[in-house]
Structure 1
Amino acid sequence: MQTSKELVDLLDLTALGENNFSGNSYTIGSPHVFGGQVLAQAVNAAYRTIPENRFINSLHSYFLEAGDLTVPINYHVAEMRNGGSFSTRRVTASQNGKTIFIMAASFHIKEDGFEHQTAIDKSIKQPEELMSWEDMLVQFGDFLPKSTKAFLSIKRPIEFKPVRVPNPMEPKDLPANEDVWFRLKGDHKDLDIRTKQEILTYISDYNVLNAAFNSNASAHNFGNTQTASLDHSMWFFREFDFNDWMLFSAESPNAFGARGLAKGNIFTRDGKLVASFAQEGLMRPKK
């Protein structure tokens, strides 16, 4: 999977009737289904039951079981409420009769109101100054740990450029934050806002737990720690296009008891706040 079209096709579920849908999976380098894929497919399922004049404003979800890459995922949508301004849906994802994921999502008509937003960090390095994951693989591939090299070798429809690149050969503790520029590959001029929100949901599960790792990066990493997304929430604010780089900016206020919390914002390059997110993940040191 290397282009935005392939990603859109992955997220576009097959209708089975009576608010039931089915989707397949694509690996991002993990032995299990990528959480962002399940999130985005669940949003696709919910949108299929929503009037055209309503758009997602928030989602709250829990990952209950690891997904099997070889088995289709079934999604059932329960229509919880259709009010004058908001609609609410509950989505349940299952494999082989077992529930692996649940999500509640809210959809809102467009309304006018007062406005403010947090500001983007204008001092942050721009993407033209940074290396992408593909650049790192080419330049440092022979020196990277095997697991890191394998992860970077996976073909993806998104290009990522982290603002800070730690040296895997000399790990050290870092501030508890993570800033990553990202850009969608391929032709994406004709995407509607619903599809763009599904793609943004997919991307939001990348990089997020890095912020929770960084304060203990001298001793702990994805290789010696058992990790999994436990829950994921998003809030959607403003419309946007994928015609330029966007910034994923996360910070971690806490890691304790084998769990790490990260939260943050997604901006357009010109500083428009598009969405916010929060996730708690399992971070259990391997013995």
Structure 2
Amino acid sequence: MHAITIPRPGGPEVLTWAEVPDAAPAEGEILVRAAATAVNRADLLQRQGHYNPPPGASPYPGLEVSGTDVATGEAVCALLGGGGYAELVAVPRAHTLPVPAGLSVADAAALPEVACTVWSNVGHDLNGKTLLVHGGASGIGTFAIQFGVALGATVVTTARKAKHARLKELGAHRTIDYTSEDWVAEVGEADVILDIIGARYLARNLDVLASGGRLAIIGLQGGVKAELDLRVLMAKRASISATTLRARSHDEKAAIVRGVRDHVWPLVESGAIKPVIDRRLPLSEAAEAHRIVEASDHIGKVLLTVS
């Protein structure tokens, strides 16, 4: 098979389309002939040498895939610990999902990582609450906006001004340009915050967090270290979680996937949530896809398709 390899850490140019040994499924796994994968920021970090795959995972980048089960011909998509940038992918059966009705097999590659991330961090108790989504134009952001709206939340999001119209089309009730507006003043108060920035936003997130609110940190684009005034947290009876999906155990991921299948997939199949795909490129052009995501010149997901 062919896969995108990373011979050495570096820029997008180090990504190499190469012939490699075929993926071989272990016990409890299936072999998927890939139709597409999607680019996530974790892939960029892995390429740079900052985010190695967990033990036992494929060395190739790619945290999600869609395609067909080689043994049964069933159309599936899956959450991965790595290996999505390849023609064949070995996947734990418990981490697979059926391709939602109404979606092409390739487009389903835009869903597993974002659906599992949002479901496991935001949850389902959103009706009547205010959800603040930082980075609303990202793959996770575009999914979270639709998820929050579908569950009855008032959704506020931060993004560059040029992307606001599209985010409002997805259902965002308010959009804030973080480059020119004081988003703390504009938000006022939020019950749940989904944050991809990390350290730089920590204190300001606490400023807007409502009493009894929840802050879920899922990214560190704004740094890894910050001071926290615990008195603010205690006074608000608020909670902070900081999670990654990739490093979770097999059983934890399987439980998240089951939750997505039971509670999120019906929203996708009803049309309440749709994958937002900025563009599609051949897998062999992964370097160009990384440049696009690195520059934040996209809205939603950038897919890599396998012919």
TM-score w.r.t. length of structure 1: 0.28
Structure with greater proportional strand content: 1
Structure with greater proportional helix content: 2
